[in-house]
Structure 1
Amino acid sequence: MAGKSLTIDAMGVYYRELNERIRAAVTEGVTSFTLTGIKGQRYIATGLAGDLSFTIHGTPGQDMGAFMRGPRIRVEGNAQDGLGNTMDDGYVVVNGLAGDVLGYGMRGGHIFVRNDVGYRVGIHMKAYMEKQPVIVIGGKAGDFLGEYMAGGAIILLGMFSDKTYAPICGRSLGTGMHGGVIYVRGEVPEEQLGPKLKCVPCEDADMEIIKCNVAAFAREFDVGVEPILAERFHKVSPFSHRPYGNMYCPC
């Protein structure tokens, strides 16, 4: 039996009240939500699990989708900081910009952002058991992208950005990275890389991962796949799983 749908006008609604209404509706069998008038309300869909969907009009606040296990969220607008914080599974699409620390400690699921993102995106991102989290960024990223990354994949396209003056990523990309991979469309300026990292052209196996996720990105935002794949991709990864081992013990 199909679940129920619910539209909530959140204009002027305090974030706690909004989230209480959403949780109460879930217990009553609502599985599809449309939220309008969103203006900075925090913690939307945080901790929710199962086959739920959210279409959000406006700008959701911090920690949307935190600890989430399965729901699907589409934001028609920008998103603030902490999106997907420690997200375990699910699917998040942001048809705009996103802020800092997106995907912090993310363990599974997918996050697609059409335009730019802020600082420390993917920090402490990791794979968990069979799960391989993925973040695809259509625009450019700020400093410390993939900091302390331990698993999963970040795909940085650098295409859908109005920051024509800026490099594709900020400083110290992948600092402390000891697992996972960052794929970058085009070149990564050497001075932007964190220490003990290498940047090499992608191999066939890498391109299979990239093509699959780029195709999903293109479907979500109605853009062409071919122009994205027309540029060569490079892979940023650590030299070893313990790139800083000699800092803590004798070799």
Structure 2
Amino acid sequence: MTSIEVKQNQDTACVNLHGVYYRELNTRLAELVNQGVRSLELNNACGQRYIGTSLKGDLKITINGTPGNDLGAFMDGPSITVNGNVQDCCGNTLNNGCIVVHGHGGDIFGMSARGGKLFVRDYVGYRAGIHMKAYQDKKPSLVIGNTAQDFLGEYMAGGVLVVLGLGLGENETHKANFIGTGMHGGVIYMSGKVEEHQLGKEVAIAELDETDWKTLRPLIDEFALHFGYNAEEIAARPFYKLYPKYLRPYGRMYAY
């Protein structure tokens, strides 16, 4: 078992992740939180999985490096800032809290998120926002600064998914196909060109109204604050919304 280097000062701890196995790491992080640590700085992250899984309460985690799969899974309250890229399934079933990624995201980013906020500065992989959902006062938000790959918003059941397209050139088309396939709830706001054939058959497209902007603009402002962008310039871009045509597109396929 590798010894974990921890520098602790009252409610703050700095942890060196170099060469540390993920199970040992997450056990140690839980111990630190139980001891009252409320600020964690994790350095030299290199693929360690499940960081932040199921952690609760007022906790701030800063990660320098590249954490592994399922970062912040089932998290309920803490905030995570990643100075680097993240791997697959970041924010899996996020319940509450915030994850901010100063880099790229892997596949199934925000999978089944049911609350909280996720911001990624650059692009994400396949199936981002798959099966996002909302319940009562919980409504997850996922904001992508650049673009995404195929099956964006697949089976989306609730929440808000925003794709800003900031890395696209003038008149450049998003590369994703099958956008919103199986979508039956929530809304996707996009900037950047998308053709009709790129959308799932369950998805309709429309211009934004005043209610949409009340939802979208605060997320643009927060994205700009996290990553040093000009919110006014982003908000001035042309946006459109994608929404589900039907609440139960596959209802007729099931037996009761």
The answer to whether the superposition gives a TM-score over 0.5 is: yes
Q: Which residue does 1:65 correspond to in 2? A: 72
Among 14, 18, 22, the alignment partner of 1:15 is 22
Give the 3-state SS of the residue equivalent to 2:38 in structure 1: strand
Give the 3-state SS of the residue equivalent to 2:220 in structure 1: helix
Q: Which residue does 1:83 correspond to in 2? A: 90
1:52-91 per-position Cα deviation (integer Å, ceiling 9, x unaligned): 1100000000001000000000000000001010111110
Distance change >3 Å, CA 185–CA 165, structure 1 → 2: closer
Q: Which residue does 1:221 correspond to in 2? A: 227
The list of structure 1 runs, each at least 4 consecutive aligned residues, that deviate by more than 3 angstroms after superposition, is 163-167, 244-249
Structure 1: unaligned runs, 5 residues or longer: none
- Structure 1 residues 93-112: aligned runs within 5 Å: 93-112=100-119
Deviation at 1:247, TM superposition (A): 5.0
Residues 171 and 192 of structure 2 are in contact (CA less than 8 Å); yes or no, is this contact kept in structure 1? no
1:122-170 per-position Cα deviation (integer Å, ceiling 9, x unaligned): 1111002211100000011010001000000100001146x99973241
Residues 61 and 81 of structure 1 are in contact (CA less than 8 Å); yes or no, is this contact kept in structure 2? yes
Among 40, 43, 46, the alignment partner of 1:39 is 46
Matched, 1:211 2:211: no
- Structure 1 residues 126-205: aligned runs within 5 Å: 126-160=133-167, 167-205=173-211
Q: Which residue does 1:114 correspond to in 2? A: 121
| TM-score calculated relative to the size of structure 2 | 0.92
1:169-220 per-position Cα deviation (integer Å, ceiling 9, x unaligned): 4110000000000000133211110012111111111011111000000000
Residues 78 and 98 of structure 1 are in contact (CA less than 8 Å); yes or no, is this contact kept in structure 2? yes
Residues 48 and 68 of structure 1 are in contact (CA less than 8 Å); yes or no, is this contact kept in structure 2? yes
Among 6, 16, 30, the alignment partner of 2:13 is 6
Percent identity of paired positions between Structure 1 and Structure 2: 49
Over the residues paired in the alignment, what is the CA RMSD in angstroms? 1.9
Deviation at 1:245, TM superposition (A): 3.8
Deviation at 1:244, TM superposition (A): 3.6
CA distance in 2, matches of 1:235, 1:128: 21
Q: Which residue does 2:3 correspond to in 1? A: none
| TM-score calculated relative to the size of structure 1 | 0.94
CA distance in 1, matches of 2:252, 2:112: 25
1:20-43 per-position Cα deviation (integer Å, ceiling 9, x unaligned): 110110111001000000000000
Residues 156 and 184 of structure 1 are in contact (CA less than 8 Å); yes or no, is this contact kept in structure 2? yes
